[in-house]
Amino acid sequence: MALTLGADAPTMLIRRDAFERAGLDRSALDEALSLTADEFRVEGTLIAVGPLVGEDTSAQAIELLERAGLAYYDDFIEVPGNWPAWVRLYAMAAA
């Protein structure tokens, strides 16, 4: 199953194995980024965090993940969420 990505704010896509290897857990992200229940989704080997609303929230998420030892692009990416609302994007991890 694929995860729907929002068109109005950034979303972080994180490899689940990297997230777990770094010893991160959902509660740490929830607290640091003030996430709602729907802003942390897991599908197979992929985690989607977002949409990340707020001017600095995306930068905070990147900083938190990098401090935990994750590498941008290899372990996680930011999907900017700046496309028209009539476009729907989905994400899923490659097999």
Domains in the chain (CATH in brackets) are 3-91 (3.30.70)
Residue 79: what pLDDT?
95
C-alpha separations of 13 from 5, 58 in Å: 10, 12
Express each pLDDT in 53-85 by its tens digit: 888 899 999 999 999 999 999 999 999 988 998
Give the predicted TM-score (pTM) of the model.
0.92
Per the CB < 8 A criterion, the answer to whether 76 and 12 are in contact is: yes
Q: Residues near 79 by Cβ (< 8 Å), separated by ≥ 6?
A: 5, 10, 11, 12, 13, 50, 89, 91
Q: Give per-residue pLDDT as tens, 7-28.
A: 889 999 999 999 999 999 899 8
